[in-house]
Amino acid sequence: MHPVSPQASAYRALADRIGMFASALCLVHCVLLPLALVFLPFLTLNPRADAWIEGSTLLLSAIAGTVAIGRGYRRHGHRSAAGLFGVGLGLCVLAGWSRHEGVEIAGKALGALLLIMAHLHNSRLAQRALPVVRSTQPHSL
């Protein structure tokens, strides 16, 4: 059995926290942006800046999530967190292509919630898991 080092466990936990934070930022952005649009004439928001913020939070969520979910999977061996993560990330991307603002906001908010749930689920699975034993020997028949 290969014990997991405290450093590897700390990196996995940090990656999960970064992923949850980026997903939460995405959710807050999706919920607050429509309110900000009401005050757009007074705030002089730049649509290019909004696209940059959306792209950046999605990229950060994708990178942190891939690292965290991947490390978690190696620890616990369950695919459910990866499934939630994939659906959430896919929903965020697809919602960005919607021509209807309400569908876009709802899709991105739901996607961000799924990303947060994936990180929480991954973290809980990893905390409860026994280290996965991986053989370095080739399988023989």
For 112, the 3-state DSSP assignment is: helix
Q: What is each CA distance from 134 to 62, 81, 138, in whole angstroms?
A: 27, 20, 11
Q: What is each CA distance from 6 to 3, 119, 134, in whole angstroms?
A: 9, 19, 19
Q: What is each CA distance from 4 to 16, 34, 60, 79, in whole angstroms?
A: 17, 45, 26, 19
Q: How much is the pTM?
A: 0.64
Q: What is each CA distance from 113 to 14, 23, 25, 84, 108, in whole angstroms?
A: 19, 7, 11, 10, 9
Task: Please state the domain extents for the chain.
Answer: 6-128
pLDDT, tens digit, for every residue of 45-97?
Answer: 565 666 777 888 788 888 888 888 888 898 888 999 999 999 999 998 999 88
Checking if the pLDDT of 30 tops 60, the result is yes
pLDDT range class, residue 40, cuts 50, 70, 90: low
